[in-house]
Every structure is written in C-alpha cells, then in structure tokens.
Amino acid sequence: MCRSIKTLRPPALPEEATEEDIRAAALQYVRKVSGFRAPAAHNREVFDRAVEAIAEATAELLESLEVRGAPARRPAS
C-alpha cells in the first residue's frame, strides 16, 4: 500500500475530497506502480493519461459510495 495516499471518503476526511485531493492520490498511485517519480519525456504522455484516468475513476467511486452513518451528500447545484 502506498502510504502517501490518504483515505478520501468520510469520516476519514471531514469534508468532501477536492479535485486536488483526488489528483494527488492518482499521481501517487501512478508513481508507485510505474516506479517513476517523474517520467522521462518519452513516457510523459502515457504517465499523464494514467493519472487522469485514475483521477476520473476515483472521483466516480467517491461519488457513488454509500457510507453508512455519514451525513447525506448534497446534490451539486
């Protein structure tokens, strides 16, 4: 487990995770899996695409989770 990635759902995170929180977790995951802190120029595009795909999947997961005992989520306006 990557220790730098924090839990992004309530009650571990008192407020809703921000896009920055989600992207930071995705970046840490891609760094861990790839073994690169910063990819070489020839790998930059695929590295960035992976970060974006994981950030999108994470946001979808967090929006879809039903956490018992947590306050109800307010619909986006």
Sorted by where each begins, the domain ranges of the chain are: 19-63
The band of 31, judged by pLDDT with boundaries at 50, 70 and 90, is very high
Tell me: pLDDT of 8 over 60: yes
d(CA 16, CA 37): 27
HSE-up of residue 76 (Cα within 13 Å, Cβ side): 2
The one-letter amino acid code at 54 reads I
pTM for the model = 0.79
d(CA 9, CA 37): 26
Could you tell me how many residues make up the chain? Answer: 77
The band of 5, judged by pLDDT with boundaries at 50, 70 and 90, is confident
